[in-house]
Amino acid sequence: MEDYIVEMRHITKRFPGIVANDDVSIGIRRGEVYALLGENGAGKSTLMSMLFGMYEPDRGEILIDGKKVVFHSSNDATAHNIGMVHQHFKLVDNYTIAENIVLGSEPMTKMFGFLPSVDMKKANREIAELSKTYGLEVNPTDRIEDVPVSVRQRVEILKMLYRKADIMIFDEPTAVLTPQEIEFLLQIIDGLRKAGKTIILITHKIEEIKKIADRCAILYRGRLVDVLDVRTTSVQDMANMMVGRAVDFNPHKSEPDYRGTVLKVDHMTVKNENHFEVVKDVSFEVRSGEIFAIAGVSGNGQTEIADAITGMLKIDSGTVTLGGRDITHLTIRERAVEGVSYIPEDRHGTGVVMDFTLRDNLALRQYYRDPFSRHGILNFDKFQSYSETLIDRYDIRSGQGPKTIIRSMSGGNQQKAIIGREIEEHSKLIIFVQPTRGLDIGAIEKVHRQILDERDRGAAILLISLELDEVMELADTIGVIYNGQLLKIAPASTMTSHDVGRYMMGVKEA
């Protein structure tokens, strides 16, 4: 028998309509970096959520240090020295870093000798020490809302260390980071391994696994496909196994063929609801047949640019012109009719109505006009036939076809539905914001193909992405945004990903 620190045996977990994990058995050795690779919906996060006590498996058992355990909540997991950094950080924005870290297990003292109170001095001191020991630089007294994403992630890691976690689960930790920050995070993980921690890394980015992991378990549609030694397996093999077929890494991108300006943004300034300028005096043009990508670290004003062009946000000054027509003061619907399609960043919050059927969601751009409705009366025959066409054309998979409630569909298929719905408008301008966020390699490949096809059809594409790889792969022209300003606009062929990365950090002269 090997010395496994964690063993999960024959784990099965069901959710209404799907089997998230089907008889999965894995064993993790003490002190290794163990990667879980799989497409979206393959069951990686579910499996780890069970190890962290957030769900209980329907069947199967979990062993820690060879002893069987049953976790009813994440507190039980914490008691067994298991920690987890979630994809969406679980931090209180208006608390300081130290307060966030000690929250739930605060060091106590007696005020005036009898009133129990939190000993923040001690907490600050301990956290400063911890951060020094592991090279995780943070200032314990900063508020979370004032620090960037990469620091927030460090806070999450410190939270685990503070609770003496030996087994650390990272759920897609690099999704929100710049290339430089990813590099740094991988170093931190390596340091943790050297300090004797066991790391479980959930990801769909194979390069990272190749860089840092010792072994890698591949999940496909809830089943365990294989457990590989990372050193002896090629990236291509891992990708194929993960998607269940051969993957084409480089979509064949034809030479661009520009045909006149479609979108012209002129000295546009946008304020958010707190009257704070989030987009400052931005100007750029997108031509027909061009993919103009805006690269930047999350929260630098890129989504606001998209919202301002589509009408979701008011433009404070400057103009937006579409195909020669000033659309600055048109309503959202008028702009859509004029030829703006929009794949929004927040799929669930904006892109679909979660409890509507697939059929109704596919008709959201059309429902009010002939032949979808006449004199205000909906024509459901048209709804039905239209949704069947789109389901077929865009390969949207769902449990029950048009009448499936979209909430029950996988993220990839929800995104396919949104992209299909928007592309089908045959708009002059299509804005993609984070179009592949949370999607797996197979789905990403398809989305990229669709974006390129639309560009070749002659649409102007505005691509806003936090994934630098995606920007480098697709863009004809790159604009780098920092703090609401476009620092640099240049043809993609003249910039390396390292140049772009530097502009993303606000360095003006590369």
Q: Which residues bind another protein (CB under 8 A)?
A: 14, 16, 58-59, 310, 312, 331-334, 336, 342, 344, 346, 349-356, 360, 364-365, 367-368, 373, 376-378
Nearer to another protein, 183 or 355 (CB): 355
Give, rounded to a whole angstrom, the gap between the first and last alpha carbons of the chain.
55
Please report, as a single letter, which amino acid is at residue 398: S
CB of 351 vs another protein, minimal distance in Å = 7
Work out the angle at residue 61's Cα, subtended by the Cα atoms of residues 56 and 62, and round it to the nearest 5 degrees.
85
The nearer residue to another protein, 95 or 367, going by C-beta atoms, is: 367
Q: Which amino acid is at 467?
A: E
* Under 8 Å between Cβ of 458 and 259: yes
Q: Where are the alpha helices (DSSP H) in 229-348?
A: 235-243, 302-310, 332-339
Beta bridge partners of 319: 266
Rg of the chain on CA atoms, in Å = 25
The residue among 113 and 376 lying less far from another protein, judged by its C-beta, is: 376
Q: Which ranges in 203-243 belong to alpha helices (H)?
A: 206-212, 235-243
Half-sphere exposure of 282 (CA within 13 A, CB side): 34
* Distance, CA of 473 to CA of 437 (rounded, Å): 15
The least CB distance from residue 228 to another protein, in Å, is 29
Find the shortest distance in angstroms from Cβ 45 to another protein. 21
Residue placing its CB nearer to another protein in the complex, 218 or 431: 431
Residues 476 and 282: their CA atoms lie apart, in Å, by 19
Nearer to another protein, 227 or 330 (CB): 330
**Which SS3 state, helix, strand or coil, does residue 224 take?**
strand
How far is Cα 304 from Cα 359, in angstroms, rounded to an integer? 29
Which CB, 136 or 396, lies closer to another protein? Answer: 396
1 vs 377 by CB, closer to another protein: 377
Minimum CB–partner distance for residue 396 and another protein (Å): 18
Residue among 450, 374, 443, 452 at smallest CA distance from 413: 443
Closer to another protein at the Cβ: 195 or 353? 353
CB of 459 vs another protein, minimal distance in Å: 19
CB of residue 310 to another protein, shortest distance in Å? 8
CB of 272 to another protein, least distance (A): 15
CB of 381 to another protein, least distance (A): 12
For tokens 């946000």, the residue is: 313
Q: Which long-range contacts (CB under 8 A, 24 or more apart) does 332-338 make?
A: 335/309, 335/310, 335/311, 336/310, 336/365, 336/425, 336/427
Q: Comparing C-alpha atoms, which of 396, 395, 366, 399 is closest to residue 383?
A: 366
Residues 468, 295: contact at Cβ < 8 Å?
yes
Q: CB–CB of 35/203 below 8 Å?
A: yes
Nearest C-alpha neighbor of 242 from the set 197, 205, 212? 205
φ and ψ at residue 372, rounded to 5 degrees: -75, -30
Neighbouring CB atoms inside 10 A of 143's CB total 14
Give least dist CB 319 to another protein, A.
21
Q: Minimum CB separation from another protein for residue 361, in Å?
A: 9
User: At its nearest, how many Å lie between another protein and the CB of residue 282?
Assistant: 22
